[in-house]
Chains A and B, each alone.
Chain A
């Protein structure tokens, strides 16, 4: 295809969301081959490392259950530390997926198609990691089910006034909807994989046909299917959109509704949501930069996608920076001595190293993206995305630990130090996350093939009129799914 053929698109001011001149077949090939070819050596190395850490996670949780929460560094007054820090961090990371899928879908941001699948998968895995912590951090895990409202002979219900209960509902709802959304988006692509396996020989082909066939739920790509599918997808997107805002708002209520200075702040819901989007995009960026390099997806996930994500990071990073500044302003303006002390203590107290790490990572580093050269540079954005994830972890650490360690009565002040088990469990969840993600890119199309095809110029119903000699290699021009 020559550039001339695509000229009308440029003429109306649109830009290509994939490499110029990509065809449907090329998209299918690029994405599906990853699941059909043998896994590259680097995949195995990464999988080995990640699954080792998953093993560490299992061992550490076993030890935790056997001994009790005392194997962590948590103490009085820092009753919550890395456990809840990790929980909020993972939930935050889990935000980008739904945002990209649902919110950008509703706003017709077509550029989302290149990254939404991986982002949604990441969301699912991050939320699983997050959900682990409320479960394992309680003192008596074998009674954690008391949190659920189930009829019982004690006639006892959970305390619906407790933000932890709101949290439980918010996060589990979010997880359920995200999972459904992800899976429903996968159906056409799973059907494509099933169909591609038709010609495969041997047992591999049979297994693939069976498994993908079952998961594809009998998708035939008929007009009626598409009609229903698009409707459902829109409904789920509409359901998910408020969740993006609500989940982290509710998570922030865990802190905001308490009496603790440093937690008791009305700014928390928007501040937490901005932070969550910020960290979620950073994590998507980290993963996308790697996978697109490793699997040669540069044609599908273009530099333009990455640049747009960087712009969002710049925005949310600055929002978060504004929130940090606002907290100080309110502390000073309120005249509340406890509030004042907590914020001065954050910045200049024993945990000042954590605070300034946070500021450097979250507020200063995204400012690099004001410069086009930097926000389109792969090494820079990769480094910054990792730095942001570190910074966002520290943000939660700073909020939780520095507020707790010095509250009202100086007699009860303390200092928190993590233990090896804390480190093992945190690194273990990272291992678990990457294990899941590696399995995902190995067996599931990591780019939403159907949706990418849908934003190719050929998918435009009028494309054929304008380019009469368009080569439609797959013979499925009107139906991106096969």
Chain B
């Protein structure tokens, strides 16, 4: 078979000469040579060869075109029969936060998850979400996530890794994997546990270590002492009349905060003065969200809480509460100085409310304090009423994670480890200083790190593997009460990652495919194989396997064991000016730093300090004075056996004297554009012996200063009726206390004058949208702020621009300190967004009619029309309008806001936008719209279905996420609407009513319930003389009057 495509030979006789050019004609030989090189190589193919090639093609085609495995996921409410553009789907899944999982409902627009909401069916969420969950979409779309496998820092691929791993595992199988180590984060995933069991069969000598910087070790160990097994205590604060929190931030920083908040707030909801209300006593070193909501708060160094707890037990025992041998163990306990009155009052009340109280210990407190608390709850007969327990899922979890990590490091040091598999986490960054993990990992021949970013740990590992985000991968987990929950992916992995279970499967014989792995685990749970598919679909739809929660566990503490543990445990040295203490706390925003590149979280102000984009060492005013430091001074903190760290100080009212609080999770070096170099890494100060608190630290000034930026730098209300509060007694005697917010008005008995309109006011016949914000419920947790950011495409602007006062948050939580005392201020939180004035001052000053009133009373913004005179914002008494001073999403804004190396907003970040909300450009004013897109969605839906909008159908983003149900939205003209009822509450008041703006948002006054036993009188009223303070170059948290 040989055929030349062109005739190249010389023309035969009789044929016409054919030539292409004169050159060819005159020199035919050269032309022939040239033509040859042009010819295609003649194909030589036999029949057999042809068949062979055909077969090979078919084989390759089939090999290369394996059908994508069918993995069904099911929406929560709406069947994905068709994807309707513009109509969002909602899927139930779980997100792990603070070392536990929380049920969530994810809004997905055309396959693109954009918003996280709470899952009402899930016991962990009860329909709410916290700020970390709200920020999850930004984590997913983080442009700095690792996009490829890396070998020794160089880009590689999964094929290379799979081959390398297979080879290594083959050799290690010989000795049962004795030289293989796995480091995981504590997890409640049944699939992971199942795979670990399977892996143990294959590699019986492989050890699995666990580490996480903020662990539940103390709580677990305390339960082991009291009950003989590790359990998770859970409190239903709705039933508690008295709550004593011992260094526990159960409303925010601890596990189960959403659940706890729901219960706590339920126990304090007041519809009328006669309603019962719980009383919260908090003992803590640093002002936390929980401490801010306390009725009685005692600031005490964390190390002295132990002594306090013992004395409390001794005092409780005096009230005929049967504490058995514990009574003897604490008999000679001496309360820390100055705490006696508080302690007596708390103990008396606990005893009086037997079975209706709760004592809680924070994760920072040592195990025996937890054990003592279990004993107290048992003795106070709270178990089964306010307190219940659930068994932990992973019973193999080591008692002390720090020690476990140290054991791993020691093994490496002794050359016992050839292969180290780090599944998630970033231990090089957050390990305590005595572990020196980075050096040890360098010694391991093959170290493998699965993580979302090529981070501090990845740098030291042989292999770095990109990890999928929770919204991209299959998984499962058990909630605190044992509820089996499934994590279903909302989107295919953006960056070719794998999940922890998929990687773990490599150590087993299972196929490393998340969907199959989770189904296999679930299949074990199904009663019969026939019912499996149905149960699976139902579980996916609900986000949980109904009825899978364990029976409520009513454990009773073994008092003798507790007594023994207490006797054995030495009391910490008392804290004083010569013995300073450091207490480590999880960050109120980024927790342990796992979301270390999330600008939404960085820009949200800390609920207490109001600092953005940084952490700081919190010092009390008195200690700061003694040490000669001021806010923004960089101090160095040293301790024997630890690395010395440098951190900026912040003088914080409410902080215990001689105790310094350091926030974990900050100071990332290698995470991405937003997180690198933010704040100070305080982990090096920790040691495996002192993971939570330490005494004997030395603090010195470095002479340097560091700029810390707050969103709110004035902490006093200046005697103005803004966040109005009263004690329960005051409420009872005067239910209309919100009308008499000042001493002057109380004295005179005449309420604040109202401005009467000079014209006929518009009547709203149709819908009349309104909102109520219950200050008595709001805990200040910031979840609503991040929910608003996610829902409304609110831009972040960076630290420098926040310093210039240009943050864009539509909803902010104002935090005021009340009282003259800098040491023990009362705290008031007040969420403020646009209050949608009926007589809006912003509207009539706009020269171009860009902000106008809708027929339903919304104060609308027409972005297209806005030219940016900013007059509306000047004239807004609530200062809720936000101006796009720069193009926050363009190159200019990017330069201004974070780093100038990054020019444009990354493509992936654009995916996080809510398509129902306009992305605003520079030069345009914006503000809260009452989530008008949700209102319109509901209107369209109701019109299509030919029905009225439900009384409580529309939920704004802030309302949806609020764990305290402090925010209620609806139609004020609808008598059935919750908002209409609440707006008429006796505690309801219009903010700055004196201006006659007639806001649609009604704030409900806060009620405090101080202990009568402490004869707690409110501080003298704030002076009417205005306190002017000084310019905020050296901002002090509390400005003292001159």
Contacts and interface: CB of A to CB of B under 8 A. Distances in A.
A152 to B, nearest CB: 11
A144 interface: yes
A141 B845 CA distance: 18
A142 to B, nearest CB: 9
Interface stretch (B62-70, B694-702, B865-873, B961-969): B865-873
Contacts of B885: 68-70, 74-75, 139
A408 B845 CA distance: 18
B545 to A, nearest CB: 45
A141 B1026 CA distance: 40
B877 A163 contact: no
Contact of A164 (B807, B815, B845, B896): B845
A145 to B, nearest CB: 9
B722 A76 contact: no
A201 to B, nearest CB: 55
B923 A138 contact: yes
Nearest to B830: A411
Contact of A138 (B712, B816, B869, B892): B869
Interface residues of A, number: 59
A404 B877 CA distance: 10
B804 interface: yes
Interface string B994-1007: 01010000000000
Nearest to B1033: A415
Given A139-B924, A259-B841, A259-B875, A350 B1030 contact: yes
B806 to A, nearest CB: 6
Interface string A375-416: 000000000000000000000000000001011111111110
Contact of A140 (B716, B720, B923): B923
Given A76-B873, A164-B869, A410-B720, A350 B879 contact: no
A285 B531 CA distance: 97
B1023 to A, nearest CB: 12
B324 interface: no
B882 A76 contact: yes
Determine the main DSSP class of B at the interface with A.
Answer: loop
Nearest to A261: B877
A414 B610 CA distance: 14
Identify which of B807, B830, B878 gathers the most chain A CB atoms within 10 Å of its CB: B878
Interface in B585-613: none
B832 A411 contact: yes
A63 to B, nearest CB: 11
Given A349-B1029, A412-B879, A68 B922 contact: yes
A291 interface: no
A257 interface: yes
A415 B1031 contact: yes
A30 interface: no
A156 B873 CA distance: 22
B877 A409 contact: yes
Nearest to A146: B848
Contacts of A341: 718, 1026
B869 A159 contact: no
A172 to B, nearest CB: 13
A78 B869 contact: no
Contact of A76 (B717, B806, B877, B1024): B806
A309 to B, nearest CB: 35
Contacts of B716: 410
B841 A337 contact: no
Interface string A102-142: 00000000000000000000000000000000000111110
A258 B875 contact: yes
Interface string B913-937: 0000000011111000000000000
Interface string B535-564: 000000000000000000000000000000
Contacts of A350: 1028-1032
Contacts of A137: 869
Interface in A36-79: 66-71, 73-79
A260 interface: yes
A410 B714 contact: yes
B712 A411 contact: yes
A159 B806 contact: no
A67 B886 contact: yes
A194 interface: no
A76 B865 contact: no
B991 to A, nearest CB: 8
A80 B877 contact: no
Nearest to B841: A259
A404 B805 CA distance: 13
A371 interface: no
B434 interface: no
A413 B847 contact: no
A294 to B, nearest CB: 41
A345 B844 contact: no
Contacts of B892: 66-68
A411 to B, nearest CB: 4
B879 A409 contact: yes
B796 interface: no
A159 B844 contact: yes
A303 interface: no
Contacts of B1024: 337
A258 B879 contact: no
A344 B848 contact: no
A259 B995 CA distance: 8
A408 B865 contact: no
A150 to B, nearest CB: 12
A140 B867 contact: yes
Interface in B3-36: none
Given A337-B719, A410-B722, 17 more contacts: A68-B923, A69-B870, A71-B886, A75-B805, A75-B806, A80-B871, A139-B923, A158-B847, A159-B847, A161-B845, A254-B871, A258-B841, A345-B1026, A349-B1028, A351-B1031, A413-B713, A415-B1031
7 contacts: A68-B922, A71-B886, A159-B848, A409-B877, A409-B879, A411-B830, A412-B814
